[in-house]
C-alpha cells in the first residue's frame, strides 16, 4: 500500500509538471493593442497567459504600445512591443517575467556559459537557451538579435581543435539595411576583432569554444553576443537605434575606433551629423560639411570643389556608390549635387588611401547611399526656400530579399534672381537630380546592386548666355561570397559629364560651345580574411576614357560663327593591387600594399612635335604625327606604395604613421581660382606627363572621459611633380595645342591638423585647427616661362590658418541648436603694383605671382531644429529647421578686382554673401 501511494504521488507530480510545461509552451497571445500604457498591456497579457510580470512602472511612463498579434508566443509579443526601444525582458523557469529599462538582467545562465571550466562535449550543454537553429553547414545562418542567448556556431559533431571562421552581416533591425564600419571584437581579447565592410559583412577567425562578441556602431546601441564556436559558420547580427529617452542622455563610452584603426587621415561623417551643420538656405550639404573638417579648404564661399592637404580640386576622386562624379555641385557651387535624403555615409581619405583606389593625388571622397528599407515602405520629404526633395524606399519583394531607394530634388530659384539689379532680373536658374539604388539578394552567396544617378543644371544670364552642365552615372555590382573567408565584388559602370554654353542674344555671333567626357569602367575586388592576423585585399580595375575637348558651332542660320572642333581623345587606364593588414600583436598593426598602374594614350590622334631642347611654343612646333585608330601613342606606368602602422600605447592612446604614393593621368585645366563651367579635362599624352605625388604623415590619437572626447594631432608632408599651372595670358578653351599654354610645376605641401571632438552628451561637436602651406615652383628653362624668378610661390588655394567650430546643444527632447564658426586666412592674389611705358604705350606692372592676399574670412552660422513628438510607434515624424547663414552679416571677400577710372586704377572687393541669409525648412519622415 505504501508503494502504491508513493507511485501515485510520483505520477501526480509528473502529470502536474508536464501540464505546466505544456501550458507554458502553448500560451499564445492574440489581440489588437492600441495606445496602451504598460499597466494596461500587462493586465491583458496576464489574463491570457499563466505568466506573472514584475516591473517598475516609473520606468515605463513614456511608453505607449500599439500592435496587433494573433496566436503569437509571449516572447515574440514582447519583442514586437519593445522594438526600437531600450526596454528589455527576461523569463525565468517559474513563469515570472521581469521588465527593465537599459540594462539586461538574467534569470539563469545559458548552458555552457562557463565553457572555460567545462568540456564542450559535456552532455550538460543543451539547446535550452541557444538559438532555435544550430549550424550544420556554412549555408545555415543564425539570426542573432538577443543578448540573453547563447548562439551555437556549428554542431558538436564538427568539433575539433584549432580555429574556426565566423562570418555574417550586421544589419539595422528596423530596415534590414547593412551597417558598414561596425566594430566587432572579443570581449576577453580586444586584439581579436574586425570591422564590417561597405556591405555590412564581417569575417572573424576565432579559437573554438565560448566567446563574447562586443558589437559597436555610432548611433546604435552597443550589444554583446555570446557564441559557442564548434566549427565554421555564419551569424547575422541586428542592431537597434540608440534611443534617447525622456529626461536622459545616454552616453556610450566604448567607441574607440579612432584609436584602434590602422588608418590615419580618414574622416567619416554619417548623414545625421551632416544635417546638424548649418548651411546656406538650410539644406544639408556634403560639400559644406567637408569644409569644417581639418585639412579641407576651398578658395571661397559658394565655390565649386574643395582642396585637401594642399591638393588642387581635380586631385580629388569623388565616388558615389562606385561611380565617378566630375562636378559635385549645383548652381556654380551654391548646393551639393547629392540629395541628402538618400545619403547614408561619407568617408574622406586624406591619407592611408586604400590600394583599390587610384587615379588622383590628394584624396578619395567615397559617398554611399542608403540601400532601402527591406521590411516596410518609408520615405521622407523636405521643402526649403530654394529646393524641395523627396525620398521613397521599401522592399521590392515580400520576402525582404530586395529593396530600393528613389530620391529626387529640384529647385525653384527664379524668385531669388528677381531680387538682383534690374539688368539681371530676367535671369533664370534651375537644377534637379535623381537617384535610384536597388539591392537584390539572390541567395546567401550572391547579391546584386544597381545605381543610377542623373543631375542637371541650367542657368540663363539675363536671357543672354545659357549655361548647362550635367552628370550621368550608372553602375551595377555583383557580390559573390565563396566562403566565410573569401568574397569578391565585380563592378561595371558608365560615367558621363558635359557642359554646354550658348548665346543667341546677337544673331550674327550666336554660338554653341560644348565639352564632354565619357568613361566606362570595370573592376574586381577580392577580400580574403585569412585569420585574425591577416586580411588580404587584391584586385584589378580598368577605365576607358573618351574626351571631346571642345566644339564651337554657329547657333542658328543667321550666325556667322566659324565651326571649330578639337579632336576627341581616348585612353585606357588599368591597375593591379594587393595589400595585407597584419595584426602582429593586439597593440601593433601594419597595413601595406602595392598598386601598379598603367596608362595608354590611344589613337586616332594627331600629335604635335616640337624641336628638341626648346620650350613647347608655337614657334618651336616642327610638325604633326598621325596615329591610327587603336594604336598606342604613349604609355606611362609605375608603382604606387601604400603603408601605415598603428601602435597602441594604452587602450585609449595610439600613434600612427603612413606613406602614400599616387599617380594621376587626367588633369583639369583652369586659369580661374574656382572651378568654372568652362574648365576642361585633359588626358596625359606625349607632351603632358602624368602627375605624381608622395605623402608622409604621422598622428597621435588620445581619448578622454571614457572615450567620449576624442583628440588627435596629425602632421603631413607632400611632394608633387608635373602639376599643371598656366602661363600668363593662357587660352585654355578651344586650344588645339594646349601644351603650349601650360607648364609643369613642382609642388610641396605641409601642415599640422588638430581636432577635439565631443561625441556624446547634450553638448557635442568638434573644434579643428589647421596650419598648412601649399607652394609651387617652376624653374625649368625649357618651359618657356619662369614664374616668380624660379622661386616657390603660394598656390591659389594656399590659406595657412583655418579654424572651424561645430557645436550642437540639446535643449530639450524637441529643441536643439547648432552653430558653425569658421575663420581662415585670405587666399593669395596677384596685384598691379605700378605702370611703365613700352613702345609708346603705358602698361601695368604686376607683382610676383600670388604675392598678396585678400582679407581674412570669418563667418558664423546658426540653426535651430524643432522636432515633432518622439513617440516610438508614430507613423510620421516632422521637424522644422530655422536659422541664419552669415549671422554677423560680414562681407567676406571672394576676390579683388581693378577697374581703370579716369586714368586711375581702382580696386574693388567682391563678396558673394554680403549680408545675413535667413532660412526655414520643413522636413517629414513617414
Give tens-digit pLDDT for 355-368.
Answer: 999 999 999 999 99
What per-residue confidence (pLDDT) applies to 275? 82
Shared domain check, 174 and 46: no
Shared domain check, 119 and 83: no
Number of domains making up the chain: 3
510 versus 785: the higher-pLDDT residue is 510
**CA separation (Å) from 447 to 372, 377, 396, 477?**
14, 21, 14, 8
Task: Give the residue carrying C-alpha cell 601593433.
Answer: 588
Parallel, antiparallel, or unpaired for β 96-101 and 52-54?
parallel
Residue 850 backbone phi and psi in degrees, to 5 = 55, 45
d(C-alpha 870, C-alpha 231), whole Å: 44
d(C-alpha 755, C-alpha 617), whole Å: 48
- Give the whole-number percent of the chain exceeding pLDDT 70: 87
Q: Are 275 and 340 in contact (CB under 8 A)?
A: yes
Among 298, 769, 798, smallest CA distance to 285 is for 298
Cβ-Cβ contacts under 8 Å for 15 (sequence gap 6 or more): none
Shared domain check, 832 and 709: yes
Give tens-digit pLDDT for 794-851.
Answer: 998 899 999 999 999 988 888 899 999 999 999 898 888 877 887 777 777 888 888 8
The phi-psi region of residue 708 (left if phi > 0; otherwise alpha if psi is between -120 and 50; otherwise beta) is alpha
- CATH assignment of the domain containing 225: 2.60.40.1120
Parallel, antiparallel, or unpaired for β 223-229 and 96-101?
unpaired
- CATH assignment of the domain containing 30: 3.55.50.30
What per-residue confidence (pLDDT) applies to 444? 86
d(C-alpha 722, C-alpha 738), whole Å: 15
- Residue 797 lies inside a defined structural domain of this protein: yes
What per-residue confidence (pLDDT) applies to 197? 86
- Residue 709 lies inside a defined structural domain of this protein: yes
612 beta partners: none
- Residue 248 lies inside a defined structural domain of this protein: no
Is 60's pLDDT higher than 50? yes
Residue 737 host element (H or E): none
492 alpha carbon, distance to own chain's centre: 20
What per-residue confidence (pLDDT) applies to 495? 97
Torsion angle in degrees (nearest 10) through CA of 219, 223, 229, 231: -20
Helix (H, G, I), strand (E, B) or coil at 796: coil
- Grid coordinates given for 558: 543667321
Give tens-digit pLDDT for 302-325.
Answer: 677 889 999 988 999 999 999 999
- Residue 258 lies inside a defined structural domain of this protein: no
Cβ-Cβ contacts under 8 Å for 573 (sequence gap 6 or more): 359, 542, 543, 545, 597, 598, 599, 600, 665
Instruction: Give, as one character, the DSSP assignment of residue 59.
Output: G
Instruction: Give, as one character, the DSSP assignment of residue 688.
Output: B
HEC profile for 274-341?
Answer: HCCCCCHHHCCCHHHHHCCCCCEECCCCCCCCCEECCCCHHHEEEEECCEECCCCEEHHHCEECCCHH
Q: Please confirm whether the linkage preceding 604 is cis (ω < 30° from 0).
A: yes
Task: Give the residue carrying C-alpha cell 580629388.
Answer: 316
Shared domain check, 291 and 144: no
Shared domain check, 95 and 120: no
- Residue 430 lies inside a defined structural domain of this protein: yes
Q: Write 23-32 long-range contacts (CB < 8 A, 24+).
A: 23/50, 24/50, 24/95, 27/51, 27/73, 27/74, 28/71, 28/72, 28/73, 29/69, 29/71, 29/72, 29/73, 29/74, 29/77, 30/69, 30/70, 30/71, 30/72, 31/68, 31/69, 32/68
Among 762, 766, 881, smallest CA distance to 812 is for 762
Q: What is the average pLDDT across 754-767? A: 89
Shared domain check, 675 and 646: yes
Domain final position from 51, 79, 101: 101
Cβ-Cβ contacts under 8 Å for 406 (sequence gap 6 or more): 391, 392, 393, 434, 435, 436
Shared domain check, 73 and 146: no
Whether this prediction's pTM lies above 0.75 is answered by yes
- Residue 257 lies inside a defined structural domain of this protein: no
Characterize 30-43 residue by residue with b for buried, 16 or more Cβ atoms within 10 angstroms of its Cβ, and e for exposed: ebebeebebeebbe
Among 734, 722, 699, smallest CA distance to 778 is for 722
Shared domain check, 122 and 84: no
Shared domain check, 320 and 212: no
d(C-alpha 527, C-alpha 479), whole Å: 11
pLDDT band at 124 (very low <50, low <70, confident <90, very high): very low
d(C-alpha 889, C-alpha 866), whole Å: 24
Parallel, antiparallel, or unpaired for β 323-324 and 316-320?
antiparallel
Helix (H, G, I), strand (E, B) or coil at 147: coil
Among 476, 408, 409, smallest CA distance to 439 is for 476
Is 476's pLDDT higher than 90? yes
- Residue 66 lies inside a defined structural domain of this protein: yes
- CATH assignment of the domain containing 861: 2.40.170.20
Is 8's pLDDT higher than 70? no
Handedness of CA 308, 310, 313, 317 (dihedral sign): negative
What per-residue confidence (pLDDT) applies to 871? 61
Shared domain check, 791 and 899: yes
Give tens-digit pLDDT for 438-475.
Answer: 999 998 899 999 999 999 998 887 777 888 999 999 99
Among 483, 585, 630, 695, smallest CA distance to 262 is for 585
pLDDT band at 677 (very low <50, low <70, confident <90, very high): low
Among 34, 812, 666, smallest CA distance to 359 is for 666
Q: Are 222 and 128 in contact (CB under 8 A)?
A: no
What per-residue confidence (pLDDT) applies to 130? 32
How many C-beta neighbours within 10 Å does residue 2 have? Answer: 6
pLDDT band at 113 (very low <50, low <70, confident <90, very high): very low
> 864 is in which domain, residue-wise?
266-925
What per-residue confidence (pLDDT) applies to 133? 30
Shared domain check, 193 and 334: no
Domain final position from 101, 131, 152: 101
d(C-alpha 925, C-alpha 379), whole Å: 6
Q: Are 394 and 376 in contact (CB under 8 A)?
A: yes
Q: What is the average pLDDT across 323-339? A: 87
Shared domain check, 815 and 864: yes
What per-residue confidence (pLDDT) applies to 13? 40
d(C-alpha 739, C-alpha 617), whole Å: 8
Parallel, antiparallel, or unpaired for β 266-270 and 296-297?
unpaired
Return the ∠ at Cα 265 (arms to 263 and 269), rounded to 5°: 95
- Residue 6 lies inside a defined structural domain of this protein: no
Averaged confidence pLDDT in the chain: 83
Domain final position from 101, 134, 153: 101
Give tens-digit pLDDT for 571-623.
Answer: 999 999 999 999 998 889 999 999 999 999 999 999 999 988 888 888 888 98
List, as one string, the DSSP characters of 378-435.
EEEEEE-SSEEEEEEEEESSTTSSEEEEEEEEEE--HHHHTTS-GGGTT-EEEEEEEE
Give tens-digit pLDDT for 91-111.
Answer: 877 788 888 876 666 555 544
766 alpha carbon, distance to own chain's centre: 18
d(C-alpha 463, C-alpha 460), whole Å: 6
Instruction: Give, as one character, the DSSP assignment of residue 85.
Output: S
Residue 885 backbone phi and psi in degrees, to 5 = -95, 135
Helix (H, G, I), strand (E, B) or coil at 781: helix
How many C-beta neighbours within 10 Å does residue 150 have? Answer: 21
Amino acid at each position: 500500500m505504501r508503494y502504491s501511494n508513493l507511485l501515485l504521488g510520483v505520477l501526480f507530480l509528473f502529470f502536474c509538471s508536464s501540464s505546466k510545461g505544456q501550458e507554458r509552451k502553448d500560451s499564445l497571445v492574440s489581440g489588437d493593442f492600441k495606445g496602451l500604457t504598460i499597466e494596461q498591456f500587462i493586465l491583458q497579457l496576464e489574463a491570457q497567459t499563466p505568466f506573472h510580470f514584475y516591473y517598475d512602472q516609473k520606468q515605463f511612463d513614456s511608453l505607449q504600445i500599439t500592435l496587433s498579434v494573433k496566436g503569437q508566443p509571449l516572447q515574440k509579443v514582447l519583442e514586437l512591443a519593445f522594438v526600437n526601444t531600450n526596454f528589455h525582458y527576461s523569463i525565468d523557469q517559474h513563469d515570472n517575467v521581469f521588465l527593465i529599462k537599459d540594462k539586461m538582467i538574467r534569470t539563469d545562465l545559458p548552458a555552457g556559459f562557463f565553457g572555460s571550466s567545462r568540456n564542450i562535449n559535456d552532455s550538460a550543454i543543451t539547446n535550452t537557451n541557444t538559438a532555435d537553429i544550430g549550424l550544420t553547414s556554412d549555408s545555415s545562418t543564425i539570426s542573432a538579435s538577443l543578448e540573453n542567448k547563447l548562439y551555437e556556431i556549428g554542431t558538436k559533431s564538427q568539433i575539433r581543435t584549432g580555429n574556426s571562421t565566423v562570418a555574417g552581416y550586421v544589419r539595422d533591425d528596423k530596415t534590414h539595411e547593412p551597417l558598414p564600419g561596425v566594430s566587432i571584437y572579443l570581449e576577453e581579447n580586444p586584439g581579436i576583432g574586425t570591422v564590417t565592410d561597405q556591405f555590412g559583412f564581417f569575417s572573424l577567425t576565432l579559437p573554438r569554444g565560448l566567446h563574447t562578441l562586443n558589437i559597436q556602431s555610432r548611433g546604435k546601441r552597443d550589444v554583446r553576443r555570446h557564441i559557442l564556436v564548434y566549427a565554421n559558420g555564419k551569424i547575422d547580427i541586428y542592431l537597434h537605434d540608440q534611443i534617447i529617452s525622456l529626461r536622459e542622455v545616454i552616453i556610450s563610452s566604448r567607441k574607440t575606433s579612432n584609436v584602434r584603426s590602422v588608418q590615419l587621415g580618414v574622416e567619416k561623417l554619417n548623414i545625421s551629423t551632416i544635417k546638424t551643420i548649418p548651411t546656406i538656405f538650410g539644406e544639408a550639404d556634403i560639400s559644406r560639411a567637408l569644409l569644417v573638417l581639418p585639412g579641407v579648404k576651398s578658395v571661397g564661399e559658394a565655390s565649386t570643389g574643395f582642396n585637401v592637404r594642399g591638393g588642387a580640386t581635380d586631385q580629388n576622386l569623388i565616388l558615389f556608390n562606385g561611380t565617378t562624379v566630375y562636378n559635385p555641385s549645383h548652381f556654380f557651387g551654391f548646393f551639393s549635387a547629392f540629395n541628402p535624403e538618400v545619403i547614408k555615409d561619407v568617408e574622406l581619405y586624406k591619407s592611408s588611401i586604400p590600394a583599390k583606389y587610384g587615379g588622383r593625388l590628394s584624396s578619395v571622397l567615397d559617398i554611399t547611399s542608403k540601400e532601402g528599407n527591406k521590411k516596410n515602405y518609408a520615405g521622407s520629404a523636405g521643402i526649403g526656400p530654394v529646393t524641395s526633395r523627396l525620398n521613397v524606399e521599401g522592399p521590392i519583394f515580400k520576402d525582404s530579399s530586395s529593396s530600393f531607394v528613389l530620391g529626387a530634388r529640384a529647385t525653384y530659384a527664379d524668385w531669388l534672381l528677381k531680387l538682383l539689379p534690374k539688368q539681371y532680373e530676367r535671369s533664370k536658374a534651375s537644377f534637379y537630380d535623381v537617384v535610384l539604388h536597388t539591392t537584390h539578394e539572390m541567395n546567401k552567396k550572391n547579391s546584386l546592386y544597381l545605381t543610377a544617378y542623373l543631375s542637371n543644371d541650367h542657368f540663363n544670364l539675363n536671357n543672354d548666355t545659357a549655361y548647362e552642365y550635367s552628370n550621368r552615372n550608372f553602375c551595377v555590382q555583383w557580390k559573390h561570397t565563396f566562403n566565410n573567408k573569401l568574397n569578391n565584388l565585380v563592378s561595371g559602370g558608365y560615367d558621363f559629364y558635359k557642359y554646354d554654353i550658348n548665346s543667341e542674344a546677337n544673331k550674327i555671333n550666336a554660338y554653341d560651345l560644348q565639352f564632354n567626357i565619357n568613361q566606362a569602367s570595370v573592376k574586381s575586388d577580392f577580400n580574403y580574411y585569412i585569420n585574425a592576423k591577416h586580411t588580404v585585399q587584391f584586385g584589378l580595375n580598368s577605365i576607358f576614357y573618351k574626351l571631346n575637348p571642345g566644339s564651337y558651332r554657329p547657333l542658328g542660320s543667321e550666325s556667322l560663327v566659324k565651326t571649330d572642333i578639337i579632336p576627341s581623345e581616348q585612353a585606357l587606364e588599368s591597375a593591379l593591387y594587393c595589400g595585407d593588414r597584419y595584426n602582429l600583436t593586439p597593440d601593433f598593426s601594419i597595413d601595406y600594399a602595392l598598386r601598379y598602374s598603367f596608362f595608354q594614350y590611344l589613337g586616332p590622334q594627331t600629335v604635335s612635335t616640337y624641336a628638341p631642347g626648346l620650350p613647347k611654343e608655337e614657334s618651336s612646333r616642327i610638325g604633326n604625327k598621325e596615329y591610327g585608330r587603336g594604336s598606342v601613342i604613349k604609355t606611362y606606368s609605375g608603382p604606387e606604395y601604400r603603408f601605415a602602422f598603428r601602435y597602441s600605447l594604452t587602450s585609449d592612446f595610439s600613434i600612427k604613421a603612413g606613406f602614400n604614393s599616387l599617380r594621376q593621368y587626367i588633369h583639369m585645366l583652369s586659369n580661374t581660382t574656382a572651378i568654372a563651367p568652362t574648365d576642361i579635362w585633359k588626358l596625359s599624352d606625349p607632351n603632358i606627363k602624368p602627375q605624381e605625388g608622395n605623402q608622409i604623415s604621422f598622428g597621435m590619437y588620445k581619448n578622454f572621459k571614457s572615450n567620449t572626447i576624442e583628440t588627435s594631432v596629425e602632421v603631413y608632408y607632400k611632394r608633387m611633380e608635373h602639376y599643371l599651372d598656366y602661363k600668363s595670358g593662357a587660352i585654355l578653351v578651344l586650344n588645339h595645342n594646349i601644351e603650349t599654354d601650360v607648364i609643369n610645376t613642382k609642388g610641396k605641401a605641409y601642415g599640422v591638423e588638430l581636432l577635439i571632438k565631443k561625441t556624446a552628451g547634450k553638448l557635442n561637436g568638434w573644434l579643428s585647427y589647421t596650419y598648412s602651406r601649399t607652394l609651387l615652383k617652376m624653374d625649368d628653362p625649357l618651359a618657356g616661362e619662369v614664374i616668380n624668378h624660379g622661386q616657390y610661390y603660394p598656390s591659389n588655394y594656399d590659406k595657412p590658418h583655418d579654424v572651424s567650430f561645430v557645436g550642437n546643444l540639446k535643449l530639450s527632447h524637441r529643441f536643439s541648436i547648432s552653430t558653425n564658426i569658421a575663420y581662415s586666412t585670405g587666399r593669395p592674389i596677384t596685384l598691379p603694383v605700378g605702370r611703365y611705358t613700352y613702345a609708346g604705350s603705358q602698361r601695368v606692372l604686376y607683382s610676383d605671382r600670388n604675392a598678396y592676399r585678400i582679407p581674412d574670412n570669418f563667418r558664423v552660422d546658426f540653426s535651430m531644429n524643432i522636432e515633432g513628438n518622439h513617440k516610438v510607434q508614430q507613423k510620421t515624424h516632422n521637424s522644422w529647421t530655422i536659422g541664419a547663414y552669415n549671422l554677423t552679416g560680414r562681407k567676406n571677400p571672394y576676390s579683388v578686382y581693378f577697374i581703370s577710372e579716369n586714368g586711375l586704377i581702382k580696386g574693388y572687393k567682391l563678396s558673394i554673401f554680403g549680408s545675413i541669409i535667413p532660412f526655414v525648412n520643413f522636413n517629414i519622415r513617414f
